[in-house]
């Protein structure tokens, strides 16, 4: 049955959600900040303020050992001055920022009121009711600075997020950012706005994320930048086929993230989740080019022509496909069309649904005691029926695990053909909808596969696994263990 056609349609990026706090970056270089308190926590705040270039005046009658140690070391950027005195409203004169570590509630309120009277923002440690701003966890790759806030709800979580980001950002990013700061004016003067500047900065960014300092290239930094600037700017854009995986945004590769962040236009399928799209560059135009069985779909020829036209206009195009673009994603047709038009193509692999299925079930598709091969098979032809010419004898091999894609409507026919080819009616099978997201699933013998499919939600994509490796999933289903089921094996 031929499916109805539709044209690619533009989708607006989601609006920015509610912010618990506005993230801002305060320039404190050579400006005066006041800190009241001598506790170990105060010492950390003093060091943070001084690292940002502030002249920090500290008022503490009895400074802690940590504060004394900080004062003896001195500040790397700003300055630290200790006054062994209590605070008064007068100390806030000419300050641009005030911080206090005060246990007494009345005194904390009085200090906040004095700061407001002086017209300066204030933070009272561990008393959010008196705070105009909060300190978050900091990732320091200056001049790149990343602040992380949990709105005071979970500081430990903020620290864990900081550690995760620290592992992703090589320390050399700091050097590259410093170089970029010095180059900015020169680039603006010598390169015209638009593609020329963007191409320069994209090549610069590629170098920055190689994990090596600028000096490691063997040339002076200036020579390296001259070489980048002298490279001809591509008049033709590029198409990148990106695997969006099975839906869980955390399963994207770092390379896929970078492609999404550098795209001018994103052509995405119906099955790509909103969570994945949220990671894309907000300025990128988004066009839905959905292809779903039984629904109005964009013609493949229209998609090919659209990608080509956009790339020839100099656009960076991402063709965002559910799963892996090279597994039942028509990538071969698209690559052939683009290359014939002289458009360069890259491919970023993604986690295909079959692998995600194995992961969520905790099943090895090639468990050495049960299966020596795995096959990925399309379960639906253009007609909506089983494809002709499938090797059913090979698929019935007991040492093979078979994953059927797009097989929700043909599940009963698949079971019949496998049994006819010699499979036992009790051979284990699983059927999962929205793999990696809602993970609605059924597990049981293939003899019941057709009946189970009739009761599935037809609006959700389905993947089916057949083979001895799924016996454990069937046993877990029968015993009602820890996962949601579409229906049980005996329903």
Q: How far is CA 150 from CA 123, 145, 156, 157, in A?
A: 16, 17, 9, 8
Answer for the pair 449, 411: CB distance below 8 angstroms, yes or no.
Answer: yes
Q: What angle do CA 25, 29, 33 make, to 5 degrees?
A: 85
Q: Is 74 exposed, middle or buried (0-12, 13-18, 19+ CB in 10 A)?
A: exposed
- The answer to whether 21 is a known catalytic residue is no
Residue 78 · residue 51 · CB < 8 Å = yes
Question: What is the distance between the alpha carbons of residues 281 and 264, in angstroms, rounded to a whole number?
Answer: 8
**96 in Cβ contact with 35 (< 8 Å):** no
CA distance 293 to 382: 9
204, burial (CB in 10 Å: exposed 0-12, middle 13-18, buried 19+):
buried
Q: What are phi and psi of 99, to 5 degrees?
A: -130, 140
Let me know: does 392 contact 422? Beta carbons within 8 Å.
Answer: no
What span, in angstroms and rounded, lies between the C-alpha atoms of 297 and 328? 16
Question: Which residue in the block uniquely carries the two structure tokens 């005195």?
Answer: 85
How far is residue 81's CA from residue 468's CA, in Å, rounded to a whole number?
Answer: 73
Partner residues linked to 34 by β-bridges = 57, 98
Asked if residue 27 lies in contact with residue 96, where contact means CB atoms within 8 angstroms, the answer is no
Identify the active-site residue in 57, 248, 269, 397. 269
Beta-bridge mates of residue 240: 318, 346
Spot the catalytic one: 45, 291, 315, 321.
291
- Is 269 annotated as catalytic? yes
Active-site amino acid positions: 269, 291
């Amino acid at each position: 049955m031929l499916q109805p056609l539709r044209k690619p349609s533009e989708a607006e990026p989601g609006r920015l959600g509610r912010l618990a706090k506005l993230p801002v970056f305060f320039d404190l270089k050579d400006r005066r900040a006041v800190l009241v308190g001598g506790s170990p926590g105060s010492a950390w705040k003093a060091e943070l303020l001084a690292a940002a270039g502030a002249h920090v005046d500290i008022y503490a009658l009895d400074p802690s050992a940590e504060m004394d140690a900080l004062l003896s070391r001195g500040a790397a950027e700003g300055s630290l001055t200790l006054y062994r005195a209590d605070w008064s409203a007068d100390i806030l004169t000419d300050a641009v920022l005030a911080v206090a570590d005060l246990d007494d509630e009345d005194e904390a309120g009085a200090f906040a009121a004095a700061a407001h009277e002086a017209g300066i923002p204030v933070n009272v440690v561990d008393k959010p009711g008196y705070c105009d701003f909060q300190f978050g966890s900091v990732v320091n790759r200056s001049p790149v600075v990343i602040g992380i806030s949990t709105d005071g709800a979970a500081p430990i979580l903020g620290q864990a997020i900081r550690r995760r980001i620290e592992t992703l950002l090589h320390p050399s990013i700091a050097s590259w950012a410093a170089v970029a700061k010095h180059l900015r004016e020169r680039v603006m003067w010598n390169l015209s706005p638009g593609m020329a500047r963007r191409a320069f900065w994209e090549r610069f960014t590629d170098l920055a994320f190689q994990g090596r300092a600028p000096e490691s290239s063997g040339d002076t930094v200036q020579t390296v930048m001259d070489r980048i600037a002298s490279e001809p700017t591509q008049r033709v854009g590029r198409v990148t086929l990106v695997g969006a995986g099975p839906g869980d945004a955390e399963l994207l590769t770092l390379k896929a993230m970078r492609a999404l962040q550098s795209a001018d236009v994103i052509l995405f399928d119906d099955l790509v989740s909103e969570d994945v799209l949220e990671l894309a560059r907000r300025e990128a135009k988004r066009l839905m080019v959905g292809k779903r069985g039984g629904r109005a779909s964009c013609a493949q020829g229209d998609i090919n022509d659209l990608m080509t036209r956009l790339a020839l206009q100099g656009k960076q195009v991402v063709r965002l496909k559910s799963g892996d673009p090279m597994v039942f994603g028509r990538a071969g047709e698209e690559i052939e069309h683009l290359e014939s038009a002289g458009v360069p193509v890259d491919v970023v692999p993604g986690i295909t649904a079959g692998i995600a299925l194995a992961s969520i079930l905790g099943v090895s598709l090639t468990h050495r005691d049960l299966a020596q091969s795995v096959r990925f098979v399309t379960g639906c032809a253009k007609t909506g029926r089983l494809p002709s010419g499938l090797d059913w004898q090979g698929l019935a091999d007991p040492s093979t695990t078979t994953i059927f894609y797009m097989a929700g409507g043909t599940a009963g026919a698949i079971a019949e053909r496998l049994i006819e080819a010699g499979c036992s009616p009790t051979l284990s099978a699983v059927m999962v909808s929205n793999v990696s997201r809602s993970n609605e699933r059924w597990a049981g013998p293939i003899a019941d596969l057709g009946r189970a499919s009739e009761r599935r939600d037809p609006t959700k994509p389905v993947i089916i696994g057949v083979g001895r490796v799924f016996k454990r999933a069937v046993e877990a289903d029968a015993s009602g263990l820890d996962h949601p089921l579409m229906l049980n094996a005996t329903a």
